[in-house]
Structure 1
Amino acid sequence: MTQDTSATITLKKPLKRGEQEIAKLKLRKPDTGSLRGCRLSMLLNSDVDSLVMLLPRITEPALTEHDISQMDVKDLVSCASEVVGFLTE
């Protein structure tokens, strides 16, 4: 059985970063180092503060806290679903 180590999300509302528009995000499965300082139980409950801490470490392009604060709620929920999937599979 093979486990997915990454996922691609097409954002419903692309993020603007200056002239750049981010329409897709690649999330990689977090390793132990990426999870430093995060509470797994909070991530499993899709806690926003925990996601703000983790997402910059596992997204490509790397999101900033500002990017995440501007993200559409549906897109944040999509990211949270992928993170939970990575941690539970």
Structure 2
Amino acid sequence: MTDTTDNVVVLDQPIVRGETTIEQITLRKPNAGELRGITLSDLLQLDVNAIVRVTPRISSPTLTEAELRAMDPADLVDVGGKIAGFLLKKSDKAALFPAK
């Protein structure tokens, strides 16, 4: 079972939406349908457009594409890294990131 804290991105630059401040987002592993229209290699290469298109489909709270385009680059890279990690098989993750 996956530890859901691994799917949380704490934002360096919180997103302000009206009177609400979003300080962290939770991402869930996308299913194949949520990856429609996206080239998987673009996600693995942390392509900004691919990250911006997929994240609203898998984030909680749901972020808009405009919010993602205005996001701090360090936060966007963190989001993209989590998404890229979802695309790896468990055995590949274990080989790349051995348990401490």
TM-score of the superposed pair, with normalisation by structure 2: 0.82
Higher RCO (CA-CA < 8 Å; seq separation 6+): 1
Q: Percent identity?
A: 43
Partner in structure 1 of residue 97 of structure 2: none
Aligned partners of 1:3, 1:22: CA distance in 2, in Å? 24
Radius of gyration: which is bigger?
2
Residue 69 of structure 1: how far off its partner (Å): 1.3
Aligned length: 88
Show structure 1 runs of 5+ residues with no match.
none
Whether 2:31 is the aligned partner of 1:36: answer: no
Show structure 2 runs of 5+ residues with no match.
90-100
Segments of 4+ in structure 1 off by > 6 A? none
Deviations 1:1-56 (A, max 9, x none): x4557601110110011111100100000101110111001111010011111000
SS at match of 1:74: helix
Deviations 1:44-79 (A, max 9, x none): 101001111100000000010111011110000000
Partner in structure 1 of residue 16 of structure 2: 16
Structure (1/2) with the larger strand percentage: 1
TM-score of the superposed pair, with normalisation by structure 1: 0.92
Partner in structure 2 of residue 47 of structure 1: 47
Partner in structure 2 of residue 73 of structure 1: 73
- RMSD, aligned α-carbons: 1.4
